[in-house]
Amino acid sequence: MKSEVTLRKSLNLSQVVYMGLAWMTPMIYFSIYGIAYENAHGMLTQAYLLAFVAIFFTAYSYGVMSKSFPTSGSAYTYTKKSIHPYLGFLVGWALLLDYFFSPIIACLTFGIYLHAQFPSIPAYVWIIGLNIVLGIVNIIGIKFSANISKLFVWIQILFIAVFCFFLFRNITGDVHPLQPFLQTEVPFSTILAGASMICFSFLGFDTVTTMSEETKNSEKTIPRAIMIIIITASILYLVPSFLTQLVYPQLTFVDIDSAGFEIVKLVGGAALSSVFITVLILAIFTQGLSSVTSVSRLLFVMGRDSVLPKRVFGSLHPKFNTPVTNIVIVSVVSLLALVISLDNAVKFVNFGALTAFFFVNISGIAQKYIKDKQRSPKMTFLYLIMPLIGAGFIGYLLSLLDKDALWMGGVWLLAGMVYHLIRKRSARTLTVASRPIITSSGRPSGSLE
């Protein structure tokens, strides 16, 4: 009898952490610097601190659910098993927006930056080239992807450390060490609005749950990895924002979109700014690599569950133990980077991610507090109060999405409902057609007498 090909458990804690940080991309601190600075009115330290608090509760819910269901389906699996399969399908369908459009954003941004550096080479050349490379690396195996992510994540961390060194060197003796926290002229509501936008810098910690079936001792490893990723990202965002606010209490930028490059040049001069673009491109590459890994695993689980066509999405390559068909499909879909705008791609990601985050918090309550009846005072706090706080924060962030994002997300969910209905009717028709017709003699039609 032919043995079933399964995902190979090969990842350890550090590799999972690097994959998560690669998806999150520490250099996003600079990519959104201008928009974040403008929305928070310069109070980036406070805004990042609030964003960390907001996202911590959802990260905790992911950790709880990954212990209960150590499989690779992420929010799709958690909602399906703790609440209802149909709602799980809709959450998984919404999550596909986040995961499908993340590699599109990586390819699109990669093409934009490299075309700016080398104007004679069209952006589509870089987009197609990156697609091919990401597909090949993912097909070879997740462990190989993790090792590449580790190298490029450390390059990003090193750059941020050098940036902080330059800032620290510019601190004068007459500056109060707590000055960033003593600036109270900006209303708290403004800082909170800035934090709501900055929360998107933390998106990506959840993707490691799609690697559960390829992770050793995943019940312990995945929750630990989630918390390490969140805390590490917070340090990488808070330290430079605190030092920048300390050295430059007030800043103005020529172009908000390129404010990250401007602040790097201001702090480190031409030498540091010349390195900036190279590191940023490497960061985009690692984000693309990790995002292709995540979406291909989500498609595999949905295919294995026959939510998507199993023969297409639920298979693994016998040699590489990777979902090669899914990786190829993701690479083809990522060619949308040739025609879609960055703004629309980001809106899709935000809608998908926040929808999944909201239902993971609700799933934690449904599974632990309601189904498992863990309702002691301590458990009530852990499995009811904390997830409710997380759901409240995420629900608030969802309400801040613009009308275009909500409209596009709603259309996508409607398409999912139609697909589910058609697939369900097709399955029912096949079931009825396969049933034998019973004749008046009591024998199935066509049977031998």
CATH dotted code for 13-429: 1.20.1740.10
pLDDT digits (tens, 9 = 90+) for 340-378: 887 777 778 878 888 888 999 999 999 999 999 999 999
DSSP letter assigned to residue 170 = T
Q: Over 50: is that where the pLDDT of 204 sits?
A: yes
Res 433: pLDDT: 60
pLDDT band for position 434 (50/70/90)? Answer: low
Burial 75-84 (b: 16+ CB within 10 A, else e): bbbbbbbbbe
Task: Rank 283-292, 300-309, 387-396 by mean pLDDT and report only the highest.
Answer: 387-396
Give, rounded to a whole angstrom, the gap between the first and last alpha carbons of the chain: 34
- Residue partners of 219: CB distance under 8 A and separation at least 6: 66, 67, 70
**In sequence order, what are the residues at sequence separation of 6 or more whose Cβ sits closer than 8 angstroms to the Cβ of residue 206?**
62, 74, 75, 226, 353, 356, 357, 360
Burial degree of 172 (CB within 10 A; 0-12, 13-18, 19+): exposed
Q: Where are the domains of the chain?
A: 13-429
Alpha helices in 170-247 (DSSP H): 179-182, 188-198, 218-247
Per-residue pLDDT at 182: 65
Supply the mean pLDDT for the chain.
Answer: 83
Lowest mean pLDDT among 98-107, 138-147, 348-357: 138-147
pTM of the model: 0.79
